[in-house]
Structure 1
Amino acid sequence: MMKKLLALLALVPSLVFGAGSNYPLDAAPDLTNDLAALQRGAKLFSNYCLNCHAAESMRYNRLRDIGLTDEQIKENLMFASDNVGETMTVAMDPKDAKKWFGGVPPDLSLIARSRASGNGPGADYIYTYLRTYYRDPAKPTGWNNMVYPNVGMPHVLWELQGERVAMYDDVADPHYPEKKVHKFVGFEQIKPGTMNQVEYDQAMADLTSFLVFMAEPVREGRFKLGVIVLLFFGVFTIFAWRLNAAYWKDIK
């Protein structure tokens, strides 16, 4: 599988998550508190993304935070290293990447945070992007994407989702009724994948949530610490208010 994906990606100067469009973004399910979902997302990331895209700001041992043991990490998620303390790098040499792709595929450590501006929340962008690939024989890779038109990266998850084509129809322009506009009306499945649509959407929600977790592994801890700090200041304010009242009560 990994050799097949590398060969496919080697066809193009792959750039991912770089462009934008006016395609409406779907709200991504927030599964960052669901350890099972994060574990499934980590497996998808390791098998389908980590072949070409590194995550050098993330160490494998941080996956302990989503309930995985060192043994599980080594056996199921590590393909380019043997030390769980190392960062998520790829075995591919940067020189080879430049020769094959025309540039080094971007690091995905902070992709969820970097896409949190522009078209909308980062999770929504990624979730919609991963679910809007379609067959386009006019493109070098044979694939296109609604969120990222003319995307350079092929659909590496096509075996899971299957193959679809984009359907268009000529409809009246709302501003000029006498004119027709070519409008996207949906996708048509032309070849089934190993997952049905519901299963694929769930898998992409898992992968998206893992990318959100990876961008800020301490996010949940930071939120909990923030609540504790706010509670402390609330209690402290009450004590300070009563102390101030007691201090000034006999002073006219």
Structure 2
Amino acid sequence: MKALIAFVLLLLLSPLTVLAAPVASGVQPRVIDVTDKAALRDGANTFVGYCMGCHGTQFQRYQTVADDLGIPYEQMLQTLAPAGASIADPMQTRLLPDDAKAWFGAEVPDLTLITRVRGSEWLYAYLHGFYADPARPRGVNNTVYPNVGMPNVLESLQGHQVLDCAEPTAQPCTRLRVIPGTGSLDARQFDDKVRNLVAFLAYSADPVQTKSRQIGLYVLLYLALLILLAYLLKREYWKDVG
């Protein structure tokens, strides 16, 4: 009985956040919070500005994002949706599959469920993991996804990142260094930008997760109360036995 009560209390106290994994460049772990609407709005802006030219979130709609994140419809259509889009349209990229194959050698994946497939920790590390590699067709590689075909679309924000290993080692070099002055953001600002982008994609993968967890908390509270009442009733029935 005590173990069951302790388990229920543990579930009640579980946070609605995810701790992102540390990355090879030495960036400290950050919390991915899908309840922070300001962060999600910033992540949505980053996604539309830097990712949506190639990637979409076709199972997400502009209207849903606007409602959930507190963005007026007019502002949503002016700042986040392409010209001519309806508020009810899905957030699809306009990159055609044939063009994607011609430019990148493969179709570009939709990102609606990327955090479900890969995890928020993986995506957080991946977006930090790009570095200059002249041997690659697009001049970049990635410590998390070697031989990546995607260009580093966030380089203008982060700066020019390179491997930082002076001597050969038995293991592949994964230590990274950003050349100062080559990006518009400092390390902390860029990390915030990536964290917010990952948070937006984590929200997009399950837009009702916050509401579901709130309902789950109410259910757990009800079960905890029911367990307590059952335990007290049991004590009342058995207090004169033996």
Structure-1-length-normalised TM-score? 0.75
Is 1:69 matched up with 2:72? Answer: yes
Structure-1 residue corresponding to 2:91 = 88
What are the residue-to-residue correspondences of 1:1-252 with 2, within 5 Å?
27-63=29-65, 64-79=67-82, 82-115=85-118, 122-170=119-167, 183-189=173-179, 192-239=182-229
Give the distance between the partners of 1:45 and 1:204, measured in 2 at CA. 10
Give 2:221's aligned amino acid. L
Give the distance between the partners of 2:95 and 2:180, measured in 1 at CA. 34
Q: Percent identity?
A: 36
Aligned alpha-carbon RMSD (Å): 2.9
Q: Is the 8 A contact 2:158 2:178 kept in 1?
A: no
Q: Is the 8 A contact 2:24 2:174 kept in 1?
A: no
Q: Is the 8 A contact 2:165 2:175 kept in 1?
A: yes
More strand by share: 1
Which stretch of structure 1 is more off in the superposition, 80-89 or 215-224?
80-89
Give the distance between the partners of 2:153 and 2:100, measured in 1 at CA. 17
Rate the CA distance shift 1:197–1:172 in 2: closer, same or farther, 3 A: closer
Unaligned runs of at least 5 residues, structure 1 = 1-21, 116-121, 174-180
Give 1:66's aligned amino acid. L
Rate the CA distance shift 1:68–1:105 in 2: closer, same or farther, 3 A: same
What's the CA shift for 1:184?
Answer: 4.5
- Secondary structure of 2:54's counterpart equals coil
Rate the CA distance shift 1:53–1:239 in 2: closer, same or farther, 3 A: same
Structure-2-length-normalised TM-score? 0.78
Unaligned runs of at least 5 residues, structure 2 = 1-22
- Secondary structure of 2:138's counterpart equals coil
Give 1:202's aligned amino acid. D
Q: Is the 8 A contact 2:158 2:190 kept in 1?
A: yes
